[in-house]
């Protein structure tokens, strides 16, 4: 692990860790799910597990948008871009994600016009500067990213940009949490809520977890101290037999979220009846589609999409890892056939995926046999 004094406010961290040890009932095993891929990354990066008592287990949830995207969607998007008049635009995160016939980057090497954008807004610039081409933005992300895509679509419509469309893969976090809780082999005690998704949706949507499922939730920041404080909040609630939504990340997350962003999303998107998640299967009302009022800019309404379905290899146990039934290294393929350089399952695809995070920090650390001196 990293030494605590490398972190900001090391004294406070030590005090918070002491508080966690005081609150955790030694006769009980706690299973907390962090929903956000950013938290998963931070947990491994900071070696937080080493600071926690053994009976607090952190389960890595479905919060990495790249990881949960089914391969069929990538195949569909790339198939539309086979047309030489189409420019395939996507975030850098997508570039190495494998489709059946290779990643966007590999398609680029074979001659497809593939561009990395850092902002959806830049896809409009691309369309303006390439008037004889059609620019298709392959959009992914949770509610953090969806408002930016929505506003870009509104701008495209307002400006009447005709050579632009969005292939929409935006997903919503709450139905995924619900699906995980509904799964019969799942037993969780509480949730560490996503920080940046909550800047948009606020804390209110989590209240059903509290009400229906009686599970505490703490919306959390990304620093070690943030996550440790969130764990204190969860332990306190469990100790008192409470279940409520607490906002640890108040400095960034308003309780009501960003209403302007929610309005923009509501104007452009509607819920799909169902959507497939890698590792979790079909989840009802878990993704966004573009409303008919924006049909002209919706790649799925504008073009003939093949609707490819690709099932994950049977041997890959992504679903079990996603639900916390298995640890990443307990999957049969982990570190052998399935590695970050050659991902087979969803969770190895992006560095935010729990398997890739585990591989990059724990597996490599063990291999190098370094560090670890704790008091």
Which residues of the shown chain bind another protein in the complex (CB under 8 A)? 7-8, 36-38, 41-42, 45-46, 64-66, 91-93, 95-96, 105, 108-109, 113, 115-122, 125-126, 129, 140-141, 144-145, 147-148, 151, 155, 195-196, 199-200, 221-224, 251-252, 254, 258-261, 264, 350-352, 360
For residue 81, the minimal CB distance to another protein (Å) is 14
- Closest to another protein by CB, 237 or 286: 286
Coil, helix or strand for 213? coil
CB of 199 to another protein, least distance (A): 5
CA 246 to chain centroid: 21
Question: Shortest distance, CB of residue 126 to another protein, whole angstroms?
Answer: 6
Q: Least CB distance from residue 111 to another protein, whole Å? A: 10
CB 123 to another protein: min, Å: 9
User: 325: how many CB neighbours lie within 10 A of its CB?
Assistant: 15
Question: Between residues 84 and 92, which has the closer beta carbon with respect to another protein?
Answer: 92
CA separation for the pair 86, 76 (Å, rounded): 14
Please compute Rg for the chain using Cα positions: 21
Within 10 Å of residue 92's Cβ, how many Cβ atoms? 11
Q: Which is nearer to another protein, 196 or 329 (CB)?
A: 196
Closer of 159 and 182 to another protein (Cβ): 159
* Least spacing, CB of residue 46 vs another protein, in Å: 7
State how far the alpha carbon of 47 is from the alpha carbons of 4, 5, 50, 324, 360, in Å.
10, 13, 6, 18, 12
Question: In terms of CB distance, is 6 or 242 closer to another protein?
Answer: 6
Q: Which of 286, 269, 271 is nearest to 152 (CA)?
A: 269
CB of 88 to another protein, least distance (A): 12
Tokens of 163: 């050579």
DSSP 303: S
Alpha-carbon gap, residue 352 to 39, rounded angstroms: 8
Tokens of 220: 């959390």
CA end-to-end distance (rounded Å), the chain: 11
Q: Return the bridge partners of 336, or none.
A: none
Q: Which is nearer to another protein, 235 or 338 (CB)?
A: 338
The secondary structure element, H or E, covering residue 105 is: helix 104-109
CB of 147 to another protein, least distance (A): 5
Residues 6+ apart with CB under 8 A from 67: 37, 278, 279, 346, 347, 349, 350, 352, 353
- From the CB of 42, what's the least distance to another protein, in Å? 6
**31 or 45: CB nearest another protein:** 45
Q: Which is nearer to another protein, 257 or 324 (CB)?
A: 257
Residue 21's SS3 state is helix
Q: What's the CA gap between 292 and 240, in Å, rounded?
A: 49
Give 93 or 320: the residue with its C-beta nearer to another protein. 93
């Amino acid at each position: 692990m990293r030494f605590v004094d490398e972190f900001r406010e090391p004294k406070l961290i030590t005090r918070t860790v002491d508080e966690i040890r005081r609150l955790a009932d030694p006769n009980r095993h706690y299973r907390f799910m962090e929903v956000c891929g950013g938290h998963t990354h931070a947990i491994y990066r900071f070696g937080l597990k080493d600071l926690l008592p053994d009976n607090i287990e952190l389960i890595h949830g479905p919060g990495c948008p790249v990881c949960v995207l089914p391969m069929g969607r990538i195949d569909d998007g790339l198939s539309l871009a086979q047309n030489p008049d189409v420019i395939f635009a996507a975030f850098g995160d997508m570039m190495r994600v494998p489709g059946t016939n290779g990643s966007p980057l590999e398609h680029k090497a074979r001659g497809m016009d593939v561009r990395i954008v850092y902002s959806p807004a830049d896809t409009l610039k691309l369309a303006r500067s390439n008037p004889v081409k059609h620019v298709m933005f392959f959009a992914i992300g949770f509610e953090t990213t969806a408002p930016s895509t929505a506003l870009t679509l509104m701008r495209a419509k307002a400006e009447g940009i005709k050579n632009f469309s969005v292939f929409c893969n935006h997903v919503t976090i709450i139905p995924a949490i619900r699906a995980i809780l509904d799964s019969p082999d799942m037993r969780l005690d509480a949730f560490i809520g996503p920080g940046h998704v909550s800047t948009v949706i606020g804390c209110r949507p989590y209240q059903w977890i509290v009400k229906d499922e009686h599970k505490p939730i703490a919306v959390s920041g990304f620093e070690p101290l943030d996550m440790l404080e969130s764990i204190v909040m969860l332990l306190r609630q469990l100790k008192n037999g409470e279940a409520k939504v607490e906002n640890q990340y108040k400095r960034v997350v308003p309780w009501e979220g960003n209403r302007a962003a929610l309005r923009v999303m509501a104007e452009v998107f509607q819920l799909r009846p169902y959507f497939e998640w890698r590792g979790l299967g079909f989840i009802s009302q878990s993704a966004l589609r573009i409303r008919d009022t924006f049909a002209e800019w919706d790649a799925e309404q504008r073009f003939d999409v093949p609707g490819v379905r690709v099932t994950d290899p049977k041997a890959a146990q992504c679903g079990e890892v996603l639900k916390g039934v298995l640890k990443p290294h307990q999957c049969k393929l982990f570190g052998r056939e399935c590695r970050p350089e050659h991902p087979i399952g969803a969770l190895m695809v992006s560095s935010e995926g729990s398997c890739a995070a585990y591989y990059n920090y724990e597996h490599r650390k063990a291999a190098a046999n370094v560090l670890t001196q704790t008091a």
